[in-house]
Amino acid sequence: MTDKTRYIGIDLGGTNIKAALVNTETGEIAAVHSVPTNSREGHDAVIASMAKVVDRIATESGLTVAEIGGIGVGLPGSIDIGKGTTVFLTNLPGHWIDVPVRDLLSKWTGLPVALINDARAMTLGEWRFGAGRGVDIACLTLGTGIGGGLVVNGRLHLGPTGSAGELGHISVDINGPQCGCGNRGCIESFASGPAISAMGMKAVVQGQETKIATLAGGDLNRITPELISEAALAGDRIACEIYEFAGEVIGAGINNIILTVSPRRIVIGGGVAAAGDLILDPIRRSILKRCFLREAAEIEVVPARLGNTAGLIGAALWARNHLNEA
């Protein structure tokens, strides 16, 4: 297969399907589109929506199918890269077991397709064109869940089945709360967006003196990580303690990653990471407190740079790399 430079990257989310044309040499994106996922209509309808977006991007860009190298799709869950099928997708209603996404999308677009986990796509994008450029990295995306990915020896590390890099499911407490993955004490169960919100709700319900209650107007449903970070920035002790705890747990998990693969840089992205140093500084302190077998001061903890485009860019890069190796 001829190695072209322009690929389409797709990021399948629970709410929206985002897609763009990506120049995989420069990281520049064009013809960005977003449409509702409407996953309750079933996987065939979702894949058909992807195909329509691909057609729209090609038309807007003035490109023929022959001028596009292929499509990379970042999916929120476990996939079989070799078969091009889903194993299980999180936060998407309906039956997403053994769905042949690769073959169906390829059939409906006339383009070759490569699938990758969405957090691994983000990792690849940040490593090539973002905050991880030039060094081995561990990347964590903090949101509804905690996803992750690794670049080891200059290559995205996927393991024999394509599932390596589930950093959010590193366990730091064998007696901790049960995680959605089935294990106990995963960092996701302590420090994901919903876990942070739950800590804020608990503080309000217990009657603790905190600005969280005032900002939420007494409505527990309004308590989000963003609202808690607002309270913390205003000097609220409880809110600061919540972020301190979440960061300490994440740092403990990262220490295990450091001992295992020794990345040079830790890249933190996702919605919760918008809190900035409120979450990054506790992570850094936690690593310094725990990392003894490697010089902890050498390890950088930095925010992701590419924002919502990282997954699109990474999916397109994966398509170029994977399809040209096939």
Q: Are residues 313 and 268 in the same domain?
A: no
Whichever domain contains 242, its CATH number is 3.30.420.40
Q: Which of 98-112, 170-184, 233-247, 287-301 is predicted with the least confidence, judged by mean pLDDT? A: 287-301
Q: Are residues 178 and 271 in the same domain?
A: yes
Cβ 43 vs Cβ 53: under 8 Å: no
Helix (H) or strand (E) holding 117: strand 113-117
Q: Band of the pLDDT at 298, cuts 50, 70, 90?
A: confident
Cα separation of 226 and 89, whole Å?
26
Query: Residue 227: inside a domain, yes or no?
Result: yes
Q: Are residues 94 and 140 in the same domain?
A: no
Token pair listed for 101: 């996404």
Q: Are residues 24 and 151 in the same domain?
A: no
Phi, psi of 224 (to 5 degrees): -130, 165
Query: Residue 265: inside a domain, yes or no?
Result: yes
Query: Residue 48: inside a domain, yes or no?
Result: yes
Residue 2 above 70 pLDDT? no
Q: Are residues 171 and 112 in the same domain?
A: no
Token pair listed for 30: 């064009």
Q: Are residues 280 and 321 in the same domain?
A: no
Q: Are residues 171 and 279 in the same domain?
A: yes
Question: Which residues, in sequence order, are CB contacts of 12 under 8 Å at separation 6+?
Answer: 37, 46, 50, 73, 74, 75, 76, 92, 118
- If one counts the domains in the chain, the total is 2
- The predicted structure's pLDDT at residue 238: 98
Q: Are residues 112 and 257 in the same domain?
A: no
pLDDT tens across 6-21, in order?
999 999 998 899 999 9
| DSSP strand pairing (71-75 vs 77-80) | unpaired
For residue 82, the one-letter residue type is: G
Query: Residue 120: inside a domain, yes or no?
Result: yes
Query: Residue 1: inside a domain, yes or no?
Result: no
Phi, psi of 77 (to 5 degrees): 165, -155
Q: Are residues 99 and 114 in the same domain?
A: yes
Question: Which residues, in sequence order, are CB contacts of 248 under 8 Å at separation 6+?
Answer: 282, 283, 285, 286
pLDDT tens across 36-49, in order?
999 889 999 999 99
The average confidence (pLDDT) of the chain is 94
Q: Are residues 32 and 105 in the same domain?
A: yes
Q: How far is CA 249 from the centre of its chain?
A: 18
Q: Are residues 171 and 268 in the same domain?
A: yes
Query: Residue 144: inside a domain, yes or no?
Result: yes
Query: Residue 24: inside a domain, yes or no?
Result: yes
Q: Band of the pLDDT at 1, cuts 50, 70, 90?
A: very low
pLDDT tens across 275-294, in order?
999 999 999 999 999 988 77
Query: Residue 102: inside a domain, yes or no?
Result: yes
Q: Are residues 68 and 211 in the same domain?
A: no
> The domain containing residue 170 runs over which residues?
132-304
For residue 178, the one-letter residue type is: Q
